[in-house]
Amino acid sequence: MSLKDRLTEDMKQAQRNKDVLALNVLRMVRASIKNKEIDNRGELDDAGVTAVIANAIKQRKDSKEQFLQGGRKDLAENEGLEIEILMHYLPEQVSEERIIERAGEIVAETGASSAKDIGKVVKPLLAEFKGKADGSLINKIARDILGE
């Protein structure tokens, strides 16, 4: 079963269970997928669907942070619940320790030594952990290792 089919089935199940939050989140993601397909003029494969879901999670994390800064804990909590629902559709996330370990290996391989070499470390990490780790976490780890 493709990821799109799984989203559709889970949306139907949320509708049967009268789970309004899950239903709304899944509808929004399916609409985003459809919009991306229209833009690309073709169907998305599982990797494309995963990218759309990861983007939706990133947007919700940003919104959650903004709501917390604005003192709206109720809205931030809602964003957190939406993130939890969407996380079920991403591949298993890589641990921070594994990213640190792999970043150290890449630094040794490439000879990166300063902040200006950040691209030599971040680019292969993003390619290796695409969909399995947050890009901002990868960037932060690389900056920490290179001493920026």
The domain 96-146 having CATH identifier 3.40.1280.10: the answer here is no
Helices (H), 41-91: 46-69, 73-87
The string over 60-87, giving b where at least 16 C-beta atoms fall within 10 Å of a residue's C-beta and e elsewhere, is beebbeebeeeeeeeebebbeebbebbe
- The per-residue pLDDT for range 72-100, each reduced to its tens digit, is 999 999 999 999 999 999 988 888 999 99
Question: What's the pLDDT band for 62 if we cut at 50, 70, 90?
Answer: very high
Q: Which residue has the higher pLDDT, 110 or 26?
A: 26
| Domain 3-87, CATH number (from 2.60.40.650, 1.10.3720.10, 1.10.1510.10, 1.10.287.610) | 1.10.1510.10
User: Coil, strand, or helix at residue 98?
Assistant: helix
Q: State the span(s) of the chain assigned CATH 1.10.1510.10.
A: 3-87
Q: Tell me: the pLDDT tens digits for 23-45?
A: 999 999 999 999 999 999 999 99
pLDDT at residue 148 in the model: 64
For the chain, the average pLDDT equals 92
CA dihedral 101, 141, 60, 92 (to 10 degrees): 0
Domain limits, CATH 1.10.10.410, in the chain: 96-146
d(CA 3, CA 81): 20
